[in-house]
Amino acid sequence: MKRSVLTSLVLVTVGIIFGAILVSNFNGGVDLGFARAGGDVKLGGPVPISNQSAGIKAISDNFVAVAKAVTPSVVAITVTTSGKKAEKNMPRDFFHFFGPDFKAPDQQPEQGFGSGVIITPDGYIVTNNHVIDDAEKDGIEVVMHDKIRFKGRLVGTDPSTDLAVVKIEAKDLPAAALGNSDNVQVGELALAIGNPLGLTSTVTAGIISAKGRNINIIRDNYNIEDFIQTDAAINPGNSGGALVNMSGEVIGINTAIATTNARYQGYGFAVPVNLLKTVAADLIKEGRVRRGYIGVEIGLVDQTMANALGLSEAKGVLVQKTVSGGAGESAGVKDGDVILSVDGKEVNAPNELQSYIATHHPGDAVTLKLYRDGKTFEKQVTLRAREEDKAVATAAEPQKDNDEEATPESPKAMKFDNLGMSVRSLTSDEKKELEVDKGVLVTDVKPYGEAFNRFVGKNSVIVEADRKAVNTPGDLKKIVDARKPGDSLLLRVRNERGTAFVALQIPK
């Protein structure tokens, strides 16, 4: 019995000691991937990359520095509208405005969220026109980076550039530094800062992926689109926010995206800051934009058009029509001229010229380098206000000349199979109805033929070919037959929108 009791005591003692050892091991003696020291649990393993590249660290540090410096200058804007806003901000084809992000229960007044950038220490803020458009009275609220809220007062808008200025009553605000968008280069790094999807003070990174984009989204008769394109992620609510370079300078105001689902799919578009500077200064000073105009309708010069005009390469901007009594006409600019540069700055797309001129006021003088009939020369143009150029959107006046009417023996109809179109003579009644005194009517256009691809439409009137008057199909045939395959042919075509130059290439 004694031995049994003694044995039991020994076993219990050993069990206690062994249990204590087990507990000790589980508490720190056995390495299970964590340890307890002073009551704290240590997690994780060794640093996988201990020798980080100095270049990578410098880029990362630069991102951090820019984000810290600029984020306080970007505000959130809450807009209350009467309920009409949603229709204006629905996607339009592939491109559309991406903010503000509206919430509207049961067709009640809507509330949307966008962004803005502080541009003066005393409270002037730039945003997009489509962010504050249709805001109710006292319906604009500005929320600062530090969560302080202000009532915003609308100072002015410029629908042509989709910009607007809002004012809050505050002092010593962190105004953003404004850069020079002319110096922006494709491929350089950029940050987008704003308030997407209700996520305030969001920073995303990307590059400048293109410049000078015209996506035809601004629905204004005098729209000016010269967007900077970026792949930095932007979404509804980013509208009016900042696109920033690696020096912390604002280079654009984020405005639109290319998407099929109303969310980020890779490409966003920002209004260049140089355009912003002029617009904002005018709105702050006068409440409206004072913009100078040349008074011309302009078009793109591609290689076919260049060949037809005698240019060695596709460059410049074609003057389709000068406005009667406008600044350009008064300075000696003529229909069919090609504007190669303005103030020494090359322009190779209509929106490039528009964007540059939009930074000038009525009374400012600009120097145009023009090409005409194989020669280049300069003309100084004193810009005028838009009120003087009201005829810019009207159809061209019919050109008068002394050409004879078609003779009885002239063919009344003719096919131009190589150009993919058919034409016929105009009757006297048609000339009167179409307000022309010459020309041939395009009666048929073959789908995907040369005329179709160059936007010569059915029922349009060809009034000139190679700057010669066209009265009959025979006149047009003589001019076409004089051209060799591969040559370009310059036509002047009139339709319901007006008169324009069109270039066709004679198929090989």
Q: Which residues are catalytic?
A: 130, 162, 239
Please choose, from the candidates 166, 181, 101, 156, the residue with its C-alpha nearest in 3D space to the C-alpha of residue 127.
166
β-pair partners for 498: 495
Helices (H) and strands (E) counted in the chain, each on its own, are 11, 31
Distance CA 222, CA 243 (A): 25
Distances (CA, A) of 396 to 433, 441, 492, 500: 15, 17, 11, 9
Distance CA 507, CA 453 (A): 12
Distance CA 49, CA 150 (A): 46
Alpha helix positions (H), 44-190? 54-70, 85-88, 129-132
Distance CA 20, CA 25 (A): 8
SS (H, E, C) 161-180: CCEEEEECCCCCCCCCEECC
Number of Cβ atoms within 10 Å of the Cβ of 444: 14
Radius of gyration of the chain (CA): 34
Q: What six digits make up the tokens of 410? A: 């002239």
